[in-house]
Amino acid sequence: MNLILFQSMMAAAALGAGLALPVSAQSSSPAFSASPEGSRAGKTAKMPVYPIPQKMTRSGGSVTVPALKLLGARDEPTVNALKSMFSLAPNGLPVQMTIIKGSKKPAGNVPRKAGAYSLSVTPQGIRMTGYDDEGLFYAAQTLLQLAEKTSSGVTVPEVEVLDWPDVPFRGTIEGFYGLPWG
C-alpha cells in the first residue's frame, strides 16, 4: 500500500472519531459531497467506502431492495458476499454482473486493469462490471459498504462508482521503521 493511501486511511479514521479537527472546524456537512472530476471521491460518515473509490457520484435518491435477482457472471466469492447482506429471489431487483477481461466488447468506462470495476445503482437495477473476477468482487464489497438493513429490506443509495487500484496489489502492510521496542 502506498504511503499516501495509508495516510488518507489514517486521517479518515481520525476524522471519523472526531480527533483531528477542533470542534469549531468540524461541520455538519451533507451525507455526500461530490468530488471534482478526476479526483478521489469525497468521503463522509454516512457513505463510507474504503478504499476510497477513484470516482463516486450520488444522485440523491435511494433504492429499497427486498431481494436480488443475479444475472450474468457467477463468481462464487462475489455471490457469497452478496448473500451475506441480501436475499436472493427470482423476482428480486436485477443485478447484472459482467466480467470484461478477455472480451472483445467495449469496456465502457472500466479501465482494463486488474481489480477495476464500475457499480451503478438505480431503481431499475444494479449493474456491476469488473475487469476481472477480482474487480467484480470489489464492486460487491463497495455495494455492501453502501447498503443499510431496514425493516423493509436493504436500502442502497442511487450511486455511480468507478474504481481501480493505484498499485498492482491491494492490501495492507505491517512493519516497523527504526528499532522496534528499542
Whether the Cβ atoms of residue 68 and residue 156 lie closer than 8 Å to each other:
no
Highest mean pLDDT among 21-30, 65-74, 89-98, 137-146: 137-146
Cell of 102: 478477455
Residue type, 7: Q
* pLDDT score for 8: 52
- Ranges 74-83, 91-100, 125-134, 164-173: which has the least confidence: 164-173
Q: Where are the beta strands (DSSP E) in the chain?
A: 55-65, 68-72, 93-99, 117-122, 125-130, 148-150, 153-163
* Long-range contact set of residues 8-14: C-beta below 8 Å, sequence gap at least 24: 8/40, 8/52, 9/50, 9/51, 12/43, 12/48, 12/50, 12/52
